[in-house]
């Protein structure tokens, strides 16, 4: 009987009733006491038993399906799973793989109906025990928060956690800056983005050592911890830590946040869909454009803004903002106009076919090398596993070497799929005139009458990329339906729109295709 053992702890071993080492020793002794049993595999996780997403558990199930052991042994059922549903699924997976399951301290035969019932009962108790522990921990954290203690998580900027008291204490190199941020926002009338730019230009960094973004500034401005409050489970508690901001100033900032539309509840209700989200790319820094908005005297203006500029300011990228309505309309117009040019599809597919055929010999040669590499690596994996089974290679040595080889195999398989796709392009065919006309009708109908999610999904499928080189040069690349490689390039055109505080220079030129 080839036996594999599985051990698990939730956190560090210092606070566990059964450490990994203790479990492993007792399981090894149990295997040794059984006639005709041989310990061939060891699996160990340091993770919660409430989920089955554990690396070593996944590996154990994979090797069970590969037939590398006959029985999986655990110290207790709750070491295997603390979820009734998870335990039932794991037992079913082992059963389908022809592998038996046994607990060293709860000897029930899972091959019999009575034994399986008892194991399920133990799973119920394990889940109940976990739920009880969670309730006790939460109750303890609530009592700690009520006394003003910090209950864990990311520490607020400007504070550190005193290990003796468990309460927050001002951090000398951050605390003075907090009141400055609040003061500049309330009295200097500087917005969150302007504050982020000022903080970065002044050489300040967040507690994680990164540049400030407007979201990081808003996190500081909204946090009631700076007026002596501890927030836990939707409740504010008074804390004994030192205030970094006066309450009047804090209230003034909250009123301004709401007035300027930077309140979360208002932002959630006022958000507008951006059809080209994730498709617009900045040619200067390589980041995607994100949807943003600005409030004027009477209207809300929507823009696509480079992520680098939006988060870190013009110092990191000075790409101009593009009016969302104008860009959406221009790209949709260019897309429909492209479907009137059947010659573009022929050119795109022909070009892809020529590239694929010219590189066919190189692709075939590389494919042969990749296939040979995959075969060689898989043979190496079998040799290492055989050496481990024979006892000539330790588990740690085998695991490290197998991990490296497995990563290499994954890379080779991905490259193999890329080469096969490239070879297939040699036989790609362009849609005929009737097919293109039918597709244009369907696309126009979907863009006109479809819901916003449907329109966005359609654009995600048809638009490969929209590269912004400047306000006067925006180049969309469209995909040819039914092909992953050929793309049609078009330069959109449209009417200029004046951005508040900027000139009304045209940002789309006449349409052209290439």
Q: Per-residue pLDDT tens for 160-186?
A: 888 787 788 888 888 889 989 998 888
- Of the candidate CATH numbers 3.40.50.300, 2.130.10.10, 3.30.530.20, 3.90.1750.20, the domain formed by 174-270 belongs to 3.90.1750.20
Amino acid 12: pLDDT: 42
How far apart are alpha carbons 473 and 500 in whole angstroms? Answer: 21
Residue-wise pLDDT for 371-383, tens only, equals: 888 888 888 877 7
How far apart are alpha carbons 110 and 125 in whole angstroms? Answer: 17
Amino acid 502: pLDDT: 34
Q: Are strands 159-161 and 168-170 parallel, antiparallel or unpaired?
A: antiparallel
Residue with tokens 């244009």: 440
Amino acid 166: pLDDT: 77
How far apart are alpha carbons 242 and 228 in whole angstroms? Answer: 7
Verify whether residue 10 is a known catalytic residue: yes
How far apart are alpha carbons 190 and 256 in whole angstroms? Answer: 11
CATH code of 2-143, in short, is 3.40.50.1390
How far apart are alpha carbons 225 and 239 in whole angstroms? Answer: 8
Amino acid 489: pLDDT: 54
Catalytic member of 10, 19, 48, 293:
10
The residues with which 100 forms a beta bridge, in sequence order, are 71
> Which residues of the chain register pLDDT less than 70?
10-18, 49-50, 82-85, 107-142, 144-149, 151-153, 189, 232-234, 259-273, 296-298, 342, 345-346, 349, 352-353, 355-358, 388-389, 391, 393-400, 424-433, 480-514
Amino acid 271: pLDDT: 39
Residue-wise pLDDT for 257-290, tens only, equals: 876 656 544 444 333 468 888 889 998 888 888 8
Give, in order, the Cα–Cα distances in Å from 174 to each of 170, 226, 229. 8, 12, 18
Residue 232's φ and ψ, nearest 5 degrees, are: -150, 125
How far apart are alpha carbons 339 and 433 in whole angstroms? Answer: 10
Number of residues assigned to the chain: 514
Amino acid 266: pLDDT: 45
Amino acid 4: pLDDT: 92
Amino acid 426: pLDDT: 59
Same fold, 2-143 and 174-270: no
Residue with tokens 């900032």: 253
Amino acid 425: pLDDT: 62
How far apart are alpha carbons 267 and 193 in whole angstroms? Answer: 16
Amino acid 457: pLDDT: 76
How far apart are alpha carbons 392 and 389 in whole angstroms? Answer: 8
Contact 83, 42 (CB under 8 A): no
Domains of the chain: which residue ranges?
2-143, 174-270, 326-346+432-513, 351-427
């Amino acid at each position: 009987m080839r036996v594999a053992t599985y051990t698990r702890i939730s956190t560090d071993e210092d606070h566990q009733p059964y450490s990994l080492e203790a479990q492993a020793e007792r399981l090894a002794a149990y295997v040794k006491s059984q006639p005709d049993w041989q310990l061939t595999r060891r699996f160990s996780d340091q993770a919660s038993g409430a989920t089955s997403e554990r690396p070593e558990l996944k590996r154990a199930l994979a090797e069970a399906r590969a037939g590398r052991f006959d029985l999986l042994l655990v110290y207790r059922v709750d070491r295997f799973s603390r979820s009734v549903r998870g335990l039932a699924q794991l037992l079913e997976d082992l059963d389908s793989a022809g592998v038996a399951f046994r607990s060293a301290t709860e000897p029930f035969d899972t091959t019999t109906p009575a034994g399986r019932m008892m194991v399920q009962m133990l799973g119920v108790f394990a889940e109940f025990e976990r739920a009880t522990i969670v309730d006790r921990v939460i109750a303890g954290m609530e009592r700690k928060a009520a006394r003003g203690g910090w209950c864990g998580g990311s520490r607020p900027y400007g504070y550190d956690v005193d290990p003796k008291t468990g309460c927050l204490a001002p951090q000398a190199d951050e605390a003075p800056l907090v009141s400055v941020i609040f003061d500049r926002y309330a009295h200097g009338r500087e917005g969150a983005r302007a504050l982020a730019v000022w903080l970065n230009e002044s050489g300040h960094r967040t507690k994680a050592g990164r540049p400030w973004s407007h979201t990081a500034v808003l996190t500081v401005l909204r946090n009631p911890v700076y007026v002596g409050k501890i927030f836990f489970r939707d409740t504010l508690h008074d804390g004994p830590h030192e205030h970094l901001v006066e309450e009047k100033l804090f209230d003034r900032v909250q009123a301004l946040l709401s007035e300027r539309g930077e309140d979360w509840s208002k932002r959630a209700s006022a958000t507008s869909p951006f059809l080209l989200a994730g498709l617009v790319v900045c040619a200067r820094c390589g980041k995607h454009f994100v949807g943003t908005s600005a409030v004027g005297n009477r209207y809300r203006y929507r823009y696509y803004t480079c992520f680098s500029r939006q988060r870190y300011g013009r110092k990191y990228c000075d790409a101009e903002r593009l009016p969302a309505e104008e860009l959406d309309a221009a790209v949709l117009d260019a897309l429909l106009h492209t479907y009137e040019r059947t010659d573009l599809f022929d050119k795109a597919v022909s070009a892809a076919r020529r590239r694929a055929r010219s590189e066919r010999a190189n692709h075939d040669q590389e494919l042969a090398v990749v296939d040979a590499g995959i075969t060689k690596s898989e043979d190496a994996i079998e040799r290492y596993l055989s050496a481990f089974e024979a006892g000539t290679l330790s588990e740690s040595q085998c695991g490290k070497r197998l991990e490296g080889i497995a990563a290499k195999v994954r890379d080779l398989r991905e490259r193999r799929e890329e080469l096969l796709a490239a070879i297939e392009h040699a036989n790609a065919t362009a849609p005929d005139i009737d097919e293109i006309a039918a597709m244009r009708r369907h696309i126009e109908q979907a863009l006109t009458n479809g819901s916003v999610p449907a329109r966005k999904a359609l654009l995600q499928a048809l638009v490969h990329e929209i590269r912004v080189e400047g306000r006067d040069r925006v180049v969309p690349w469209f995909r040819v339906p039914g092909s992953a490689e050929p793309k049609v390039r078009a330069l959109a055109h449209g009417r200029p729109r004046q951005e508040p505080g900027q000139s009304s220079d045209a940002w789309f030129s006449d349409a052209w295709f290439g």
